[in-house]
Amino acid sequence: MISDLHIGMVTELNMATTTKSNDWWYDSGATVHVCNDKTQFKNYEEVVNGQKVLMGNHDSAKVVGKGSVELNFTSGKKLLLVNVLYVPEIRKNLVSASLLCKKGYKAVLESDKIIVSINGLFVGKGKNYVNWIGPQPQLIITELQLVKEILNNKDEYPKPEFKSFTKKIFGDGLLRARGEKWFRQRKLANHAFHGENLKGMIPAMIASVEMMLERWRQHEGKEIEVNKEFKILTSEIISRTAFGSSHLEGQHIFEMLSRLVLLLSINAYKVRIPGLEKIVKTKDEIESDKLEQDVRDSTLKMIRKREEEVKKGEADSYGSDYFGVLLKANQEADKTKKISIDDIVDECKTFYVAGH
């Protein structure tokens, strides 16, 4: 139950930096303007009635005062915010999108900035903002220093927990792995895609491009859907260079994973009761389960084929491509270097999707 003392809603503000920042963020989910720096107020008055704002993580933060703040945009323009709440506990200053809209302001995302205007007149540009997609907040970072901090500080900014559809696509591959498992898988990928190994892949890449161009020549004078053609090209190149499989094998896996990605985009922000999917599955969940199993079966077929080639003497090793590196790691006697069949399946899914 929300207390009568809660006068506004703001985002959970512990996502961008571990320390306070004087930067201002445009937040489509906040219902009030909030500031953590008293020195930024042009005029100010204390609040003594115990007012609070409700955070996105359901914690409360005390409102100490309120007043007006003048924002300076990178364009040199200024914007005066009124009824800004002084909340020392928060880490980010927030501009409420809903309050600006009520005043007639509009905001448009352009490249790495957000452009604010009123009555068609340009007001200014800002760099950072919070965007909401359904119930999920997205913190959009464009400042290089913040990007570096987030990417390099794995303790303060761990990988997020993925939803079930995302796990079906990537499994526990390199994208989702953490700690020692991530280090082991990253090392294998670095070895397989080292500069010298990439040079050896060039002939296969050229052959794939030449095949595509030959198809185009046969359709001279006709319209070609280039986007579809390049999807086929990337699937063929990845199949040949990373997994040593045929275009048809790779294309089949690509099509199934593409369908899984589509199902993810449809269901990513739907709110469901926790645990309900274990009892009652939706049509999309049933389809995604089948696709996940089919992708696994296709990958296992590729594994068995490569293993049979080695057993029959048709090949003297598992190969130097990424698939071969993974199979060698599966045979490692050293448990700290060994990976499982499930790991191989997940890595294949990760690289197929990432490459596509």
How much of the chain exceeds pLDDT 70, in percent?
A: 79
**Structure tokens belonging to residue 132:** 């909401």
Of the options 1.10.1740, 2.40.70, 1.10.10, 2.40.10, the CATH number for the domain spanning 24-152: 2.40.70
Q: Which fold has domain 164-269+277-355?
A: Cytochrome p450 (1.10.630)
Residues of the chain with CATH 1.10.630.10: 164-269+277-355
Q: Which of 90-104, 154-168, 291-305 has the lowest mean pLDDT?
A: 154-168
**Rg of the chain (C-alpha set):** 26
Distance from C-alpha of 175 to C-alpha of 16, rounded to nearest angstrom:
21
Contacts of residue 213, defined as CB under 8 A and 6 or more positions apart, other chains included, come to: none
Contacts of 17 (CB under 8 A, 6+ apart): 91, 92, 146, 149
Q: Per residue, what are the HEC states of the chain?
A: CCCCCEEEECCCCCCCCCCCCCCEEEECCCCCCEECCHHHEEEEEECCCCCEEECCCCCEEECCEEEEEEEECCCCCEEEEEEEEECCCCCCEEEEHHHHHHCCEEEEEECCEEEEEECCEEEEEECCEEEEECCEEEEECCCHHHHHHHHHCCCCCCCCCCCHHHHHHHCCCCCCCCHHHHHHHHHHHHHHCCHHHHHHHHHHHHHHHHHHHHHHHCCCCCCCCHHHHHHHHHHHHHHHHCCCCCHHHHHHHHHHHHHHHHHHHHHCCCCCCCCHHHCCCCHHHHHHHHHHHHHHHHHHHHHHHHHHHHHCCCCCCCCCCHHHHHHHHHCCCCCCCCCCHHHHHHHHHHHHHHHC
pLDDT reported for residue 16: 40
Looking at residue 148, its pLDDT comes to 81
Q: Select, from the ranges 6-10, 36-40, 160-164, the one with the highest average predicted confidence (pLDDT).
A: 36-40
* The pLDDT value given to residue 232: 84
pLDDT of 266 over the 90 cut: no
Q: Residue 346 above 70 pLDDT?
A: yes
Mean pLDDT confidence for 161-170: 72
Tens digits of residue pLDDT in 174-197 = 877 777 888 888 888 887 777 777
- Give me the pLDDT at residue 271, please: 67
The Cα–Cα gap between 176 and 183 comes to: 12
Higher pLDDT pick, 273 / 180 = 180
**pLDDT single digits (tens) 108-144:** 766 666 777 765 454 455 566 666 666 666 777 767 7
Give CATH 2.40.70 domain extents, the chain: 24-152
pLDDT of residue 110: 65
Instruction: Determine what percent of the chain is predicted with pLDDT higher than 90.
Output: 14
Most confident of 99-113, 134-148, 158-172, 292-306: 292-306
Is the model's pLDDT at 206 over the cut of 70? Answer: yes
| Per-residue pLDDT, 11 | 52
Mean pLDDT value of segment 232-237 = 86
- Can you give the pLDDT at residue 14? 38
As a whole number, the mean pLDDT across the chain is 79
Q: How many CB atoms lie within 10 A of CB 110?
A: 9
How high is the pLDDT of residue 297?
A: 93
Q: What is the pLDDT of residue 290?
A: 93
Are the C-beta atoms of 46 and 62 separated by less than 8 Å?
A: no
Question: Model-level pTM greater than 0.85?
Answer: no
Question: CA dihedral defined by 130, 131, 133, 139, rounded to 10 degrees?
Answer: -40
If you average pLDDT over residues 243-270, what whole number do you get? 79
> pLDDT for 55-95, tens place per residue?
766 678 889 999 999 988 766 678 889 999 999 988 888 88
Which neighbouring-strand residues pair with 315?
none
Q: Determine the Cα angle at 332 with ends 326 and 335, to 5°.
A: 110
Residue 320 has pLDDT above 70, yes or no: yes
